[in-house]
Amino acid sequence: MANVKEVQRIIDNNNVVVFSKTWCPYCKATKAKLNELKAQYEVVELDNRNDGDDLQDALLEISGQRSVPNIFFAQQHVGGNSDLQELDKRGVLKSRLEEAGAYA
């Protein structure tokens, strides 16, 4: 339960958050796309945290998705890399990021 609260705290305190693992190619693609758009976002590298596995379990409880990247815009679950890339392909990613407050 404490892990669910920690994940929810991270989601609530950031306009855009990506739960990631440093070695994951899909996570790298997500971060590259957000960097390309110069979006401001928080990254939680689960493999760099002692509680990373527990946080990943909590993500399953919160979002229904345990895989990474696990992306949230304005406290709303977006999905994974394929979902983010689909938003970009449809031409709505930047506006969704703007709505989420990812630009200063």
What pTM was estimated for this model as a whole?
Answer: 0.96
Contacts of 14 (CB under 8 A, 6+ apart): 41, 42, 72
Q: What is the mean pLDDT of each run of 10 residues along the chain (104 residues)?
A: 90 98 98 97 98 96 96 98 98 96 87
Contact 79, 68 (CB under 8 A): no
Architecture per CATH, domain 2-100, reads as 3-Layer(aba) Sandwich (3.40)
